[in-house]
Amino acid sequence: MTIKIKDNKIIFSRTFEASVEQVFNAYTKKELFEQWFHPQGATTNVFKFNAVTGGQAFFAIETPEHTSYTLTEYKKVNKPHHIEYFDFFATPQGEKDTRLPGMHIFMDFEEEGKRTTVTSTSEFPTKEAAQQAINMGVEAGMNSTLDQLEKLLEK
């Protein structure tokens, strides 16, 4: 995985040995998403999942140390090449947790032969908010999570 920080944006990309449809489906189908969207040693519990333009998702990532909740609002889902959404920390009841900044995320899926590269740009309200995410360990967490996706795609 490569990661860059540019002002208020965190940009990462990773290439998978899978078709663009397989990778896109892993992000947009509940039964696949909950199998991999968490760091190693954690689990994902999906309460609501409607990964379509105008849809929402609400899920928990549970580790032995704690549980974090996420609320996602999908703005554009163009199968199989692009997803745009807002991601927010949430309360256990599914409400936005306004104590932490949300992210505006743009995901692009590009197929090259039998490989697919995913590029994700996370836009934060400020440069400081992006740095806060880096300080909270987003890079290590994303690497571990994408390792889980790679294992799923190898099945």
DSSP-assigned letter for residue 8 = T
Find tokens 């540019």 and name the residue. 6
The CATH code of the domain at 2-154 is 3.30.530.20
Mean pLDDT score of the chain? 94
What would the two tokens of residue 125 be?
């309200």
Query: Is residue 111 scored above 90 in pLDDT?
Result: yes
pLDDT digits (tens, 9 = 90+) for 120-133: 999 999 999 898 88
Predicted TM-score (pTM) of the model is 0.93
Amino acid 137: pLDDT: 84
Query: Is residue 109 scored above 90 in pLDDT?
Result: yes
Domain limits, the chain: 2-154
- Reported for 147-150, long-range contacts at CB under 8 A and 24+ positions apart, including other chains, are 147/40, 148/35, 148/36, 148/37, 148/38, 148/39, 148/40, 149/16, 149/23, 149/26, 149/36, 149/37, 150/16
